[in-house]
Amino acid sequence: MSTDFNGTWNMVSNDNFEAYMAALDIDFPTRKIANLLKPQKVIEQKGDSFIVKTLSTFRNYRVQFTVGEEFEEDTKGLDNRKCKSLVTWVSNKLVCVQKGEKENRGWTHWVEDGDLHLELHCSDQVCKQVYRKVPGA
């Protein structure tokens, strides 16, 4: 049985997000706004099929994938690039490699002590986020 990521999760911490966005060449004013956000993750998981929504007052982002199947990701509204993305299970972690113009780009999700963890990386920058489950949502 793999981890159940289903649910609505509210951000409780966000370390080095600004530098991660800078590594993605996101412009200064957008970074300043985005850095103040406390986004929500809404995850719909059925087996190995996922929809991950990142929701905020400023911008939303949605990605849909099946673990083990490479897909074309269009990071529209973020840094507006195309990536070939692949998510795999590495023990109980969901590991995404986003192949494209940016080196060493990807993210890792896992659940630890009931919290949703996310590490986002690009080039030499790592952003660490933690989300807490919204009960009953």
User: Whole-angstrom Cα distance, residue 78 to residue 75?
Assistant: 5
Stretch binding ligand VLZ (CB under 6 A), from 8-16, 31-39, 64-72, 85-93 = 31-39
- Token pair, residue 7, equals 């649910």
Q: How far apart are the first and last CA of the chain?
A: 23
Q: How far is the CB of 135 from ligand VLZ (least distance, A)?
A: 21
Q: Which is nearer to ligand VLZ, 37 or 130 (CB)?
A: 37
Would you count residue 52 as binding ligand VLZ (CB under 6 A)? yes
Q: Report if residue 107 touches ligand VLZ, rule: CB under 6 A.
A: yes
Residue 15 Cα to chain centre, angstroms:
14
- Computed from CA positions of residues 45, 88, 94, 51, in that sequence, does the dihedral angle turn out positive or negative? negative
Give the total of residues touching ligand VLZ (CB under 6 A).
17
CB 26 within 8 A of CB 33: no
Residues that bind ligand VLZ (CB under 6 A): 26, 30, 34, 37, 39, 41, 52, 54, 56, 58-59, 61, 63, 78, 107, 118, 120
